[in-house]
Structure 1
């Protein structure tokens, strides 16, 4: 809800914050001063500025970001009304986008989870909601460790094939188990609900009992439990055992990448075709 009237200390704080931007863009600072003066009763915690190197056609190059409370969607509505704009509501996220004096004005807030109808936000994913599809399976990378989430409970061989294809095609790597470890041990079959919170493009998956309304089978591949190996774009045969190889490794003594034979009984290493041969001086 709008606050009225603002304290003198708050106004002073906002003005001082704006002054710190004056060496970068006086236009945005001037607009900030104008907003404080014209709308003193509207919720505002602070400012930020942004600059687009290659703005989209019709999009301002410079923008002033209004910082409101993380969950203060009423503030977004209040500022939109004051600036003659309409707030954009996408799921739980409310966004203000406006232009004044050739400068963009942007702000966002998200409805808190406790205040949002999560049951209504449950959805069944399609190919548009995930990273890719392999073997008819919906696959998306999840988290920051390279794990994969597959929709369904496919056979183990399909999970391993999909994981291998994803790492090869997307990451240019081969995923191998650590010594004495089996990648099949990294497969975790569960049931989950896909929730469009805060938006459909930034969905969450929540693991639930199988009889929960909206629950669907999902498979979590804990790929970070494996060992990744970079792959070359061209296949070469190992000079020692003649086995085809794309595997790469780094030779700390030579100081560059080398080929590695995939055979556990061989593991021969040899230089890449385009790798420089160290000179005598380099080893001196």
Structure 2
């Protein structure tokens, strides 16, 4: 039986779109997620803009001394399946680890800030 909460996210399911990349915070540690696989530099540009304009931070590290080279290795491509959350809960969706062969899996780019 199919899980009725499983869905394919689009830009309206994310917190914002920057430079054509739908992005959102992801998890409780401040990680960020972008729909699609993007080059690290392009993803970091979108994550930085998201941090500044949506979250009110200096940058994704919230550190004016942070340098791109210190974070480029924290960008990862992976695949997730997405599920709707409880409308009365703390989250609107969750991403569960998958691989590219998992039915309904979506390619994503993640910035691991932890």
Q: Does 1:191 find its partner at 2:79?
A: yes
Q: Does 1:173 find its partner at 2:58?
A: yes
Q: How many residues align?
A: 105
Question: Any gaps of 5 or more consecutive residues in structure 2?
Answer: none
Q: Is the 8 A contact 1:197 1:203 kept in 2?
A: yes
Q: How well do the aligned residues superpose, as a CA RMSD in angstroms?
A: 2.2
Question: Any gaps of 5 or more consecutive residues in structure 1?
Answer: 1-116, 225-284
1:49-73 per-position Cα deviation (integer Å, ceiling 9, x unaligned): xxxxxxxxxxxxxxxxxxxxxxxxx
Q: 1:164 to 1:197 in 2, by over 3 A?
A: closer
Q: How does 1:75-224 map to 2 (within 5 A)?
A: 119-170=3-54, 171-174=56-59, 175=61, 176-177=66-67, 182-199=70-87, 202-224=92-114
* Structure 1 residue ranges, 4+ long, deviating more than 2 angstroms after superposition: 117-121
TM-score by length of 1: 0.34
Q: Distance in 1 between matches of 2:15 and 2:41?
A: 20
Q: Which has the larger radius of gyration?
A: 1
TM-score by length of 2: 0.78
Identify, as 1 or 2, the structure richer in helix.
Answer: 1
